[in-house]
Chain A
Amino acid sequence: MRDLEIRNFKVLLPGFSVSCDDLRVCPGEWLMVRAPSGYGKSTLFRGILGLESTEGEVILGGARMTEVPVHRRNFGVVFQEQLLFPHLNALENALFGIRLRRSVTEKDRRRAQDAFAELDLSHRMDAPLHELSGGERQRIALIRALLFDPDLLLIDEPFRGMDDALISKSRGLLERHLSTKSVPVIWITHQNEFEPLRAKVLIGGELNHGRRHFQYHPGQSQAD
């Protein structure tokens, strides 16, 4: 079982820092990171991914992630801006993470097709990126993050632009995936999109000018 531990963690930027309480998230648990816009949620997110300078430790299954290069951490990420690749079509984008690790097999394609069907995207598999709407891109980004079986999921406001029906289907896909491969999930949001059962919460606040800190509230699932 690969628990996520965060200890003495701080993300360092020029004139600005974001820290959080020490915490542990078990596989299948959700860590909701909540704060108003501009409070440093994405900075914390980037720090955990390894895209910014940090102090402290991020440990996954006993391995110190701070010593592992970004591309080897095996994190599944859904970015707020999706960050799909415009020169690839929808299906190629979804399979991108697998392609970086090994050859894409027929089984991978079937899994991707099933995921597309589940999220009402079957008819868009060959569509170039510029023909997709924001909501469609959001769903494809979610599929991309799940298909290569990551050890940790980091999700940044994935349901933006979706109606209730699509949110429900996307949650269903996510929860089904987690039921077969249980991993910790870090979920960034600034609104109540949904409330998972086993959720811990980090709530952002300002210490003083230039320093932000996220406090850990085990079991709390309400926004402040």
Chain B
Amino acid sequence: MGIAKRFLFAIPALALLAYVVTGVMSLVFSEGVRLQRVGEHLADPELWYTVGLTLKVSFLALFLSWVFAWLVLVVLKGRGIAVFRFFSVLPGMAYALFVLLVLRAVGAESPYSMGSVLIAWVLAGTLYLCSGISEGIRDLGPRGKEALRTLGAGPVRAFFHHEFSGTRPLQGALLLQQLWFFLTSFSLVMILGGGPPSETLEVAIYSAMRLGQSDVSKAVALSLVQALILILLRFSLNRLGSAKPARGISEGFGESGKKRSSLGISVVILFCLGGLVFLGPKVGDARAYLRPLFVTLALGASVLGATLLFSISSYVSGIRFASVIGSWCSPLFLSLALWSFSGFLISPFVNVALIQTLFFAPWFSQIVFPLLDRAQRSEMEAARVLGAGRIRAFFEVEWPRIRGGVIRVLGLVFALSATEVSSVLLFSRGDFDTLASHSQNLFSRFRIEEAAFGVMAMLLLSAVSLGLGERRA
């Protein structure tokens, strides 16, 4: 591709990069930051205590999640695993509340501690790793294992050399992603951690910038350490090899897996509908939810469009890191930095859509870019030789291959957008509400049943979105 064309494609990605860099620089070089103060914070034992605690609990949660994920996979043999994917869009608060319910039921004296955070993280991690690894195993297909068995490998060795070793790069990618979730986990730690000193880096950043004192130097110091950890992790785990989802046709597992996933999501949808019907009479005027619902849909659609645009731009132009910039640093710090730059400069709706795009574009890159990397060059050439131009060859040959992954991730991004609340609260300036922010506002005014109604509507929307993504994939 010529330089001029490449530059044209790069414009959206470059614009996003410029936006992020300008925002962060404007905060870092604002009056609130002193390099000397940043240095003092970096030398503060309190900061390193927080770092140590974060890493200890994160790595322990990661290890336990990985072990439990394999146990679940072996025991269930892939049955019902597809349903787990739905839980990946639930906010951390949902896991926190579930763990609290369970701990209360078993009579735990003190449910608020890093131990509870660990339990919630292991639960979330196990579900996520299970669904990811099971997809990888499905993509491997049975032929390799059959070959191992005919060569003389028993069940255990065949399992190790096929399912386990065959998904090693994928496991590395999933573990990295899950570790990122842990390191940037916020509401879950805030609720379950019990307050200081049980706080992770993300919570510490929030605390440094939340109330009046506005110690941006401390937030900058914490963010630097967190970014360094994420960079080191990414490089070291990438050496395992990038996740290579195999191409191709389902070999019997795909169809039944899809049916199980559809069944699970249908159950969740029915549950949400039941909740809405039950709460309906307590809500009064349900029309108050119509505008937030419409805004949620429009915002989700905008975020989808922007995510596609930025991701394609960064892939085609080669500036891939632009699409994953949101995953390299603290989402909270990024939000606050961008607010300080553009909070009152850009229209609120655009602000919210941009920040959500930054958060969710890495999902798109992680799932779709490896598929694009494995473009079947020979088949593309065959299509071109047979008479298809470049774009038509892409849509005739490559799009059918990657369509499943793209649609699935778009369904996921929509669901994530529908349940995201902090970006709306931060950037909307009261101009509009989504279902999530509307529910949050109701809750803060004691209107619990109405808030629960909004949460049910939100969950229903995300379940429908995921379900559509599964079915059309």
Contact = CB atoms under 8 A, between A and B. Distances in A.
Interface residues of B, number: 20
Main secondary structure of the interface of A (DSSP, over half): mixed
A71 B382 contact: no
A97 B381 contact: no
A150 B306 CA distance: 43
Interface string B381-397: 11111111100110011
Contacts of B40: none
Nearest to A74: B387
A101 interface: yes
Interface residues of A, number: 25
B401 A71 contact: no
A25 to B, nearest CB: 19
Given A71-B393, A128-B249, A100 B385 contact: no
Contacts of B392: 100
B246 to A, nearest CB: 12
B44 interface: no
A191 B63 CA distance: 57
Interface in A53-84: 69-75, 77, 79, 81, 83
B254 interface: no
Contacts of B388: 71, 100
Contact of B385 (A77, A86, A129, A130): A77
A130 B387 contact: no
Nearest to A154: B385
A70 B397 contact: no
B400 A79 contact: no
B146 interface: no
A49 B380 CA distance: 13
B396 to A, nearest CB: 7
A39 interface: no
Contact of A97 (B249, B379, B386): B386
Given A71-B393, A83-B379, A85-B397, A51 B249 contact: no
B378 A97 contact: no
Nearest to B382: A83
Interface string A122-151: 000000111000000000000010001000
21 contacts: A51-B384, A70-B381, A70-B385, A72-B387, A73-B385, A74-B387, A75-B385, A77-B385, A77-B386, A83-B381, A83-B382, A85-B397, A85-B400, A86-B248, A86-B249, A86-B401, A96-B383, A96-B386, A97-B386, A100-B396, A130-B251
